[in-house]
Amino acid sequence: MALLTLSSPHAHGSNSTSKVMLTVILATLPGLAVTTGLFGFGTLVNLLLASVTALVTEALILKIRKRPIGFFLRDYSALLTGVLLGLALPPLAPWWITVVATAFAIIFAKQLYGGMGNNPFNPAMVGYALVLVSFPVQMTTNWAASSQMGVDPAGLGDALNAIFGGHVSDAFTGATPLDAYKHQIAAKTAEEVLKDSTFNGFLNGGWAWVNLAYLAGGIFLIWKRIISWHIPVSMLTALALCSLLLGWDSDMYTPLSLHLLSGATMIGAFFIATDPVSAATTPRGRLIYGAGTGIFLYLIRTWGAYPDAVAFSVLLMNFAAPFIDAYTQPRTYGHAKAARGLKKPGAK
Amino acid sequence: MAKSLQDISLDGLWNNNPALVQLLGLCPLLAVTGSVVNALGLGLATTLVLTGSNFSVSLIRNHVPDAVRLPAFVMIIASFVTVAELLMQAFTYELYAVLGIFIPLIVTNCSILGRADAFACKNPIIPSVIDGFMMGLGFTVVLCLLGAMREILGQGVVFSNMQLLFGPDAEHWKIVLFSNYPDFLFAILPPGAFVAMGLLIALKNVIDKRIKDAAARVEKVPTEAVSKRVRVTGKIS
C-alpha cells in the first residue's frame, strides 16, 4: 500500500526542540517573577548560576564525547534543566548546592545515558533529589521567607551574601507552609497552626501566588500545544482525590488547599512531570503516569520524612514510564490489539 | 594449558578482577566502603579467607566426590571466616565492631566459592594459593579505592580512624583535604557506592581500550612499512 498522501496542503508544525524548550523557559517567567518579588533575589541568582553551570557542563561533556557542541547547546535542553533547578532550589541555598545539583543532573542523569532524548530520568529532578538527600539541613530549613510573612525579602546584596558568602541571616529564612503544617498539626488544631506567620496573607504566605503563576505558565504551555493536558490534570486530580479521601480532616492532615497551592505542586505538574523524554508518551499512559505521580506525591508528603515530594514521585514514575508505555500502546488501525501480559484463559 | 603464575596474578589484579570484572561480592563491597579503614579491614579478611580456602580446596581436590564438593567447600570457607572473625575480635576489636555482620557474611561472598569451584579444585596447590591471594588483593585494592573516593567525597578527609587497624600510632594519618566540609551524604550512603563503582568500572574499561588500541597501533605499523618498502639492494631470493 502506498503511504503517499498527496491531497491537501498539509501544514507542518513549526515546533523544533529548541523552540519547545524556549517556550517552556518563557512559560516559567511568571513563576520566576512572582518568586523573586515575594522571596527576594535569591531565586534569580540561583537561576543564573544553575543555567551557566548547566551550559558549561553540557559543553564540557559534549567535548569529551566528541559530539557537536553548538548543535546540542542550541536545543536549550541543558538551559531548561538549569532553569528548572534554579527555580526548584531554595532561594538562599549556598552556591555549591546549585552547582553540584546542576552538574550531577547534566553529567550523570543526562549525558551518561546518552544525552538529549536518552535519559530515563528527569535530569533536573535527579540533581534535586541528590542535593535533597545529601544536604537535608541546607535544603529544607533555608527557604526564604516571603514578604507576606511579614519579612522584607532579601535584596540583591543580601542574596549574593547568603549564596556566595554563606551568611544566611535568620531574618530572611523561614519554614515552608507544607513543612510547618505537617510538623505543627501533630500538637495543634488547624486553627492554631494557621495563626503562624508562615500562613499570613492570601493563602499560605505567598506560596499560592507562586503556584498560581506556574499554573498560568502551564496553561500557556497547553494552549501552545507544547504539553498535553493529560499529565497535569490526572496528577492534580489524583492528588486532590487522595487529599479528600484520606486527609479530609484538616486537624490531622495537610488540607487540600495547601496540597494544591503550596510547595512545588504546580511547577511539578506542568513543568517537571511533563518532561517529554522521561514521561510516558501514550495518551492513556500519560493519564496513568500523572495519576501515579499525584498519588506518590500525596503519600510521601503525608507519611514520608520530607515535606515535599515532587522530585521523588516524578523519579519513581520515571522508572515505570517504559512499562506503562508498553501496556498502553494504542491499537494500530487495521491490526488486532497486541497481546501482552498474562494469557487470558481460553485464548490461544 | 596450565597458566603461568604471572598470568594468574595478572588475572586476579586486573584482567579478571573479582570486583571490577566478575562483579562478585558486591554486597560487602557496596556496604562497607564508606571509609578506607573499613574497606581495608574487610579486604584483608577476605584475602585471608580466599587464600586459605583456595589452599585447602586444592589440597583435597582429588579426594572429594563431585556431588558433594559444594557443601565441602562451604564448610572450609566457613571455617576460615570464623578464623578471620576471631582474629579480628582479638586484634582489632573496634574495627570488628564497626564492620559487624559483614565479617561473618564473607562466607556468602560469591567470589570465594567461585574461585574454589572454578580454580582451586582443578589446580595444584601453589597456583591455587597464588590465585586466591591475588584475587583477594585485587578485591582489596578496589575496596580501598572505593573507600577513599567515598571518604573524600563524603567527608572531605581520607585515612581517618586508621588507628582501628594499625594501632594508636596511626591516629594522625588522617588527612583533612577540605576543612569545613559539609558532609555529602549521598557519597556515604549506598547509592554513592553504586555510582563510584560504576565510575571505577568505566575507568578500567577506558584503560583497557587504550591499551588495546596502543597494541593494535604497534602491530599495524611494521606491516605498513614492509608493504611500502621498495627494494633497492641485494638479491631477490
Contact at CB, B182 and A138, closer than 8 angstroms = yes
Decide if A165 touches B, using CB distance below 8 A: no
Share of chain B above pLDDT 70, in %: 92
> Chain A closest CA to B30's CA: distance in Å?
18
pLDDT at A153: 66
pLDDT at A1: 46
Chain B residues bordering chain A (beta-carbon distance below 8 Å):
182-187, 189, 191, 195
Contact at CB, A135 and B189, closer than 8 angstroms = no
Decide if A134 touches B, using CB distance below 8 A: yes
Mean pLDDT on A16-44: 89
Of the partner residues B182, B191, B195, the one whose CB lies closest to the CB of residue A135:
B182
Which residues in chain B are closer than 8 Å to A138, comparing Cβ atoms?
Answer: 182
Least confident of A105-109, A127-131, A334-338, B45-49: A334-338
pLDDT at B82: 93
- Cα separation, A316 vs A292, in Å, equals 9
Residue A122 in this model has a pLDDT that exceeds 60: yes
Cell numbers for A64, please give them.
569529551
Residue B157 phi, psi (nearest 5): -130, 170
Q: Give the tens place of pLDDT for each residue, B13-42.
A: 888 888 888 888 788 788 888 888 889 988
Q: Give the tens place of pLDDT for each residue, B43-76.
A: 999 999 999 999 999 999 888 888 998 899 999 9
Q: Give the tens place of pLDDT for each residue, B134-149.
A: 999 999 999 999 999 9
pLDDT at A83: 94
Residues 6+ apart with CB under 8 A from A148: A38, A200, A201, A202, A205, A206
Contact at CB, A108 and B195, closer than 8 angstroms = yes
Tell which wins on pLDDT, A192 or B221. Answer: A192
Q: Where are the domains of chain A?
A: 17-174
Q: To 5 degrees, how large is the angle CA A150–CA A155–CA A161?
A: 115
pLDDT at A6: 59
Residue of A nearest to B184 (CA): A134
Q: Tell me the pLDDT band of A147, cut-offs 50, 70 and 90.
A: low
Residue of B nearest to A104 (CA): B195
Residue B237 in this model has a pLDDT that exceeds 60: no
Q: Give the tens place of pLDDT for each residue, B187-220.
A: 888 888 889 999 999 999 999 999 999 988 887 7
Of the candidates A208, A162, A166, A203, the one whose C-alpha atom is nearest the C-alpha of residue A43 is A162
Mean pLDDT on A60-79: 89
Decide if A135 touches B, using CB distance below 8 A: yes
